[in-house]
Structure 1
């Protein structure tokens, strides 16, 4: 990706970009609602966004890795529009959920390209939230500040604002100045909340967790830490090496593992899942009631799934540590073939299409293990 990024003051080479990044061609012909995008299809818009970004003095002044981050996010920000396009009976075009879906699709693309983990996830954070600066200032002030703080934990808000400004300038719409004004107000909001160019600094990990659990909490207030045990949640795609890490790093922890329960029941992945989950929940509750540290082992690759289990752990006063384990695709496929209870490749492919990395809004600690 870095070798495709133009130097400051140089126009993007679209022949090279579309040759090396074939997913760009999928954007051609994908329609837009002309009310918000009268410029043309999604590829036309993407080109205009990238050109607006790379022509800006602010982008030229960024350090090289930040320039690459925003450049890649601009190329990928609407990657999910073809997959999410809906045309209603009146001919109106919409692409609901394209930001979240786009972050997931970009993660898989950049993982296969071998981008470093931290850079990849910063790019995905920008894609996930790329629409937020356009309208956040019009929301409730407390909720707007909360969202700005949340975003800052994954990517700097000044980079998000830069992407959003390029997104606004790279389109033809009825009121572009409203979008640009809102982006500038977003910058001011983030500056006032101490989260424009760096992550918001919480007093401690527990205060951070309580802030995201409880609406209206002062982010600077030190919350009483009443945790009574620690749950280590494993997360990662099948074959990434979660079980190996656990045996090597924390062999003393009792484990509640979905794979182990399936083995005990004599079933494969996907069979009698309700019974497997019920048994896992019962075992977890026994540890929680006793105040015993334990490990919760499973793929846990979706935020919603993690949230359900973390909610259970937190209800019993647990401190939650998520250990996310990742490897490259060849290593993943090889590890899956070697593991007991091999997961079929099509199932892994479906998991990759829902793959959301844990972030600091979810737990007291996020540990990333790259293998």
Structure 2
């Protein structure tokens, strides 16, 4: 079972849980990071990105402990590589904190592959300001939107299903097309709006983010989380065709947004 799911059900505090999960996901990167990665990204890029996601000194310590425990002929060389990567992180100013960037727009462009230097700002285009919600069903996204941005237009797959007379899981393609067309119309006019959807996996979020960044939008991801029992109780009380078993299946696609995904990422998590 997924580590995030086990830790969530155990009531581990959000920040600690996510730090553990992020380190697990990349704990072997320092073994070979000095060679870059298969996508051709440089050791410096990997440092810069990861420094926004987790403490690099801790990642290096975990990688070193992992390698020390292995019976591997090339152990000494890998330990040397980890130490050199640690020293590079120190030189880049990101061993104990995020690598500094000229501004958030430059950071996102750099992390999405633009050939820019982190220290020199890019000119940001005029675009929509978008709050992109993320979180399991019944985690409070509708309530948050009504309380904090009642004045803004909302793009929502649930609203699209309702407009088209569809149940959850029925003709998802038509609902997605309807919602995306509404988002494009707002983006073309540079209007601010809220995109209210689960955006549960990185793949799901990337599809939305590619669209938003393609129109020059400034994006804030707001991630909402509640304990499992509360989510199931809330869902049973809602007027929805989504069953609790459907939510349980969704848990295995669950990936919390990373700080590197948007200009600003905010976490509002309640631990059970």
Calculate the TM-score normalised by the size of structure 2. Answer: 0.94
Cα deviation for residue 228 of structure 1 reads 2.2
Q: Which position in structure 2 is the counterpart of 1:115?
A: 12
Q: Which position in structure 2 is the counterpart of 1:191?
A: 90
Cα deviation for residue 142 of structure 1 reads 5.8
Q: Which position in structure 2 is the counterpart of 1:363?
A: 262
Encode CA deviations 1:93-144: one digit per residue, 9 max, x unaligned: xxxxxxxxxxxx1111111111111111111111111010011112279621
For 2:132 and 2:176, how far apart are their aligned partners in 1? 15
C-alpha contact (below 8 Å) 1:152/1:196 kept by paired residues: yes
Cα deviation for residue 344 of structure 1 reads 2.2
C-alpha contact (below 8 Å) 1:121/1:154 kept by paired residues: no
**Residue 100 of structure 2 corresponds to residue 201 of structure 1:** yes
For 1:150 and 1:338, how far apart are their aligned partners in 2? 41
For 1:248 and 1:342, how far apart are their aligned partners in 2? 24
Cα deviation for residue 227 of structure 1 reads 3.3
For 1:241 and 1:342, how far apart are their aligned partners in 2? 17
1:159 to 48, 53, 58: 58
2:132 to 208, 221, 233: 233
For 2:70 and 2:241, how far apart are their aligned partners in 1? 47
What is the CA RMSD across the aligned residues, in angstroms? 1.6
For 1:334 and 1:227, how far apart are their aligned partners in 2? 42
Q: Which runs of 5+ in 1 are unaligned?
A: 1-79, 81-104
**Residue 73 of structure 2 corresponds to residue 174 of structure 1:** yes
**Residue 181 of structure 2 corresponds to residue 282 of structure 1:** yes
2:141 to 231, 237, 242: 242
For 1:139 and 1:370, how far apart are their aligned partners in 2? 34
C-alpha contact (below 8 Å) 1:322/1:363 kept by paired residues: yes
Q: Which position in structure 1 is the counterpart of 2:28?
A: 131
For 1:318 and 1:332, how far apart are their aligned partners in 2? 31
Cα deviation for residue 345 of structure 1 reads 2.6
2:233 to 315, 320, 334: 334
1:311 to 185, 196, 210: 210
Q: Which runs of 5+ in 2 are unaligned?
A: none
The structure number with the bigger radius of gyration is 1
C-alpha contact (below 8 Å) 2:136/2:247 kept by paired residues: yes
**Residue 191 of structure 2 corresponds to residue 300 of structure 1:** no
1:216 to 106, 109, 115: 115
For 1:252 and 1:370, how far apart are their aligned partners in 2? 24
For 1:215 and 1:168, how far apart are their aligned partners in 2? 34
Q: Which position in structure 2 is the counterpart of 1:16?
A: none
**Residue 156 of structure 2 corresponds to residue 257 of structure 1:** yes
Structure showing greater relative contact order (alpha-carbon pairs closer than 8 Å, 6 or more residues apart): 2
Q: Which position in structure 2 is the counterpart of 1:34?
A: none
Q: Which position in structure 2 is the counterpart of 1:29?
A: none
3-state SS of the aligned residue for 2:42?
helix
Count residues in correspondence: 268
Q: Which position in structure 2 is the counterpart of 1:272?
A: 171
Cα deviation for residue 190 of structure 1 reads 1.1
C-alpha contact (below 8 Å) 1:241/1:335 kept by paired residues: no
C-alpha contact (below 8 Å) 2:53/2:260 kept by paired residues: no
